Amino acid sequence: MRDAEIARASSARLLAAACRGQGATWTRQEILHEQATSSALAAAAADPLLQQCSSCPIVAECRIWARLDEYTGIAAGTAWREGEERHPSWVPGHPPRGDRLLLAS
């Protein structure tokens, strides 16, 4: 099965997601996450969404969809940037913590 077909099949299961019907809330929190200027603000913006993910019956399908759809936002219990998983406290525009440590050496 090609990636596009897998993504379509995974997205069809999203109808069973814990976040179903939460589009406005989800979008608001993702915007706050994207605009965060610190790890604490990013984590605080992601937290309400992560709580929903923690009880979701289709996290595995959501993770597949987010990766294949090159999603940017919060999905499957983590943050995503163009289909790559990030820690929920990751701040857009800043290198991951490990990279900052390497750059400082």
Please write the tens of the pLDDT for every residue from 82-105.
Answer: 999 998 887 866 555 544 433 343
Q: Is the per-residue pLDDT at 15 higher than 80?
A: no
Question: What is the spatial distance between Cα 87 and Cα 91, in angstroms, rounded to a whole number?
Answer: 9
Give the pLDDT of residue 70: 92
How confident is the model at residue 102, as a pLDDT?
38
Of 11 and 45, the one with more pLDDT? 45
- Where helices occur in 36-96 by DSSP H, the ranges are 39-54, 59-68
Contact status, residue 44 vs residue 34, Cβ threshold 8 Å: no
What confidence tens digit (pLDDT) does each residue in 39-87 have? 999 999 999 999 999 999 989 888 988 998 899 999 999 999 999 999 8
Burial of 79 (0-12, 13-18, 19+ CB in 10 A): buried
Q: Residue 73 belongs to what domain range?
A: 3-104
Domain total in the chain: 1
Alpha helices in the chain (DSSP H): 3-12, 23-35, 39-54, 59-68, 97-104
